[in-house]
Amino acid sequence: MSTFRKAVFTTILSIAGGHVLSVGAIAQQTQPSQNQTKTDNSLVLVISLSDKRMAVVDHGAVRKIYTVAVGKPSTPSPIGTFRVISRVANPTYSHKGKVVPPGAGNPVGNRWIGLSEKGYGIHGTNAPASIGKAASHGCIRMNRLDLDDLFAMLKTGEAVEIVGQPNAETASLFGTKDGAPQPVAADSVVVETAAAAPIATETIAVDAMVGQ
């Protein structure tokens, strides 16, 4: 069973690659305090790239499971343990001079959940048929209703583990390839929590995006 590693928070997501996500909304973010050792963040997201599913784990119990789109072979999703560093509602997307305002045609949908891995996040899509497939540029895509649901319960500072290959943890969460589900034990998901300061609400700038 994997143990989550401590992650370092950042407050401005800076990426190279030409995709620009302009924040036209209010985001929530946290910064760590050097003197803090505990946090009240309780949710852990476990994303299995092979299963194309995400589990929301709350104190060891599975709260929700969603089907997601993950990175395609040529632009794979990052593997490892990360933190949620921003939550942005109704972002404006810009690429090569073309600006897409919030709305149905926006490639990242109506919500952006930024990760501590530069350029990557969890977001919506204007291509709902891609959900359940390896189809993105590396980000995790969700359908709108699922994303709205996740966005409402998730706080900055929560842990996100992206798993590349099936293992005991993903089998316990999502079942095995033969379809046999395995119950999740209360201690099956362990996280070392990094310290987080109280959540502040302010406008932040996200300079670019890789993984859409």
Q: Tens digit of pLDDT for each residue in 141-155?
A: 999 999 999 999 999
Rounded to two decimals, the pTM is 0.70
More confident residue, 117 or 200: 117
Predicted local confidence at residue 98, as pLDDT: 84
* 3-state per-residue secondary structure call for 122-146: EECCCCHHHCCCEEECCCEECCHHH
pLDDT over threshold 50, residue 208: no
Active-site pick, 19, 59, 123, 137? 123
Of the ranges 1-15, 27-41, 78-92, 186-200, the best mean pLDDT one: 78-92
Predicted local confidence at residue 96, as pLDDT: 76
Strand order across the beta sheet in which 19-22 lies: 19-22, 92-95, 98-100
Predicted local confidence at residue 93, as pLDDT: 83
pLDDT over threshold 80, residue 94: no
Whether residue 19 lies in the annotated active site: no
Q: Percentage of residues in the chain with pLDDT exceeding 70? A: 64
Q: Which CATH architecture has domain 3-29+44-176?
A: Beta Barrel (2.40)
Whether residue 139 lies in the annotated active site: yes
Characterise 119 by phi-psi region: left (phi > 0), alpha (psi -120 to 50), beta (else).
left
Q: Classify residue 207 by its DSSP letter.
A: -
Predicted local confidence at residue 84, as pLDDT: 97
Mean pLDDT of 61-90: 96
Question: Predicted confidence band at 105 (pLDDT cuts at 50, 70, 90)?
Answer: confident
User: Do 21 and 118 form a contact (C-beta atoms < 8 A)?
Assistant: no
pLDDT over threshold 50, residue 80: yes
More confident residue, 34 or 209: 209
Question: Predicted confidence band at 15 (pLDDT cuts at 50, 70, 90)?
Answer: very low
Predicted local confidence at residue 163, as pLDDT: 98
**Interatomic CA distance for residues 93 and 58, integer angstroms:** 32
